[in-house]
Structure 1
Amino acid sequence: MAEPTQPRTEENLFIPVDGKVSLGENVSLTGQQWELLARQRSHSMFVKTLAVMIWGSGVLKDRSVHGRKNPRNKEAQVKAPLTPVKLQAVRACYNHHLKNKGIDGEDLTKEMRKLHAIISEKIQDLNRS
């Protein structure tokens, strides 16, 4: 799971410092986690891997992106939403990743809109296993 770190500054965001990479707002990854993340082949695998690194599979399994009731299953319990600060760190990290891959403008906006759906898909995958 991600560990707390110093508040982010533009100088230390997404750059390994003392074996940790700050994702902002007291969320960080180890250098090894960051390297693993950088090797993900698809954008969706990047997001899914990052989500597991930040929340852990056990926590993700018992959460939903927004904490809303499932309209398809009216009897299901409402799950707690993902931590907003960590969700913002995922959003910033994904944005950084896409820009590093040369995606910008309209394509960047289009990919960023998929973020919540990708995380929801990961949560569903965890609940199936």
Structure 2
Amino acid sequence: MFSHAYVRYLEDKRCALVDTTDIRDFDKWDHQDIDEKRIKAATHWVNWVFKDGSSDYFPAEILHLGVESANGTVAHSMVQPTVVVPPSTPPPAQGPEEKNGAAAARAFCSPAAITQQSTPESRGPDDMVDIGQGLKIPTGAWQRIQLQPKDSLFVKELLVAIWDPADLKGRSLQGKRSPRFPDRPIKEPLTPWKVSVMRECYKERLLRLGLPAEILQNSLKRLNHFVVEKLADIEKLAKKSEVTGKRTDDFGQLIDPLASVHMVPINC
């Protein structure tokens, strides 16, 4: 049974060594198959204690898991999240075509290629671009979005380009009641047709990157996760701005590997 986790909070990219009891629902995981079923999940809710003694859960990713030994050290395995689908770069070409494949990747990410990539869309009179079904966003924002190296960044940047972040507070993807919090009011869903436009933009990106057709549909399902993750980030940031107290300024000392709990590598 793992006793500690080394996590990175998604909002401010800070890291911490935490007890696994601070990870929501950790005790419900299948620890015999933890690397396959849970670690590759992109987001975990991890408790954080403020200086004033209050605490709350914030989205984080697990970098390492460890077990505390009798001498107070924590032997940890280098467990990294596993990506189910290929990364957001064109797959490497084989044999003599490898050089051409690299050139294609650079061409896709070059500013000069943006106009060609945006051929289905049309520019509006006020430097806006139609990304589908009459939905317009600033042209500069659309160009930056297409240059994002990761799928998650592409989707999240597109989300805040379509909706103002202030309008996203208190919203949910589909407006469904959370089974975890049945007493909470249902949040207003995102506009379905705009989400449909986002999905088409994401699909077009995956096709341009040469994603195989057999895994395209599974890859498209990741859009929901990215949107939910971004909405959670916005909600948490809004809540943090209202909470008295800040995270410790001397954060490094809290995760010092020479402190009360020490992380030492082991083979798994």
TM-score above 0.5, yes or no: yes
Distance 1:100 1:21 in 2: 19
Aligned pair 1:127/2:259, yes or no? no
Amino acid in the other structure paired with 1:119? V
Which runs of 5 or more structure 1 residues have no equivalent in the other structure? 1-10
Aligned pairs for 1:15-94 within 5 A: 16=123, 19-94=127-202
Amino acid in the other structure paired with 1:63? R
Larger helix proportion of the pair: 1
Structure 1 residue 48: Cα displacement:
0.6
TM superposition score normalised by structure 2: 0.42
Amino acid in the other structure paired with 1:67? G
Structure 1 residue 107: Cα displacement:
2.3
TM superposition score normalised by structure 1: 0.83
Structure 1 residue 75: Cα displacement:
2.5
Which runs of 5 or more structure 2 residues have no equivalent in the other structure? 1-117, 238-268
Structure 1 residue 25: Cα displacement:
1.6
Distance 1:82 1:104 in 2: 29
Aligned residues: 119
Structure 1 residue 120: Cα displacement:
0.5
Distance 2:198 2:234 in 1: 18
Amino acid in the other structure paired with 1:34? W
Aligned to 1:104: 212
**In the alignment, which of 6, 14, 18 is matched to residue 121 of structure 2?**
14
SS in 1 for 2:181: coil
Distance 1:109 1:25 in 2: 22
User: Stretches of 4+ moved more than 3 A in 1?
Assistant: 14-19
Distance 2:122 2:205 in 1: 12
Distance 1:54 1:97 in 2: 17
Larger strand proportion of the pair: 2
Distance 1:33 1:111 in 2: 24
Aligned to 2:246: none
Distance 1:55 1:106 in 2: 32
Identity %: 30
SS in 1 for 2:129: strand
Amino acid in the other structure paired with 2:213? G
Q: CA RMSD in A?
A: 1.8
Q: Mark the CA change 1:107 to 1:15 in structure 2 (over 3 Å): closer, same or farther.
A: farther
SS in 2 for 1:37: helix
Structure 1 residue 12: Cα displacement:
5.6
Cα deviations across residues 6-60 of structure 1 (Å, max 9, x unaligned)? Answer: xxxxx96335465332121220122201111012120011001100110121122
Could you tell me whether the CA contact under 8 Å between 1:62 and 1:79 is conserved in 2? yes
Larger Rg: 2
Q: Mark the CA change 1:29 to 1:126 in structure 2 (over 3 Å): closer, same or farther.
A: same
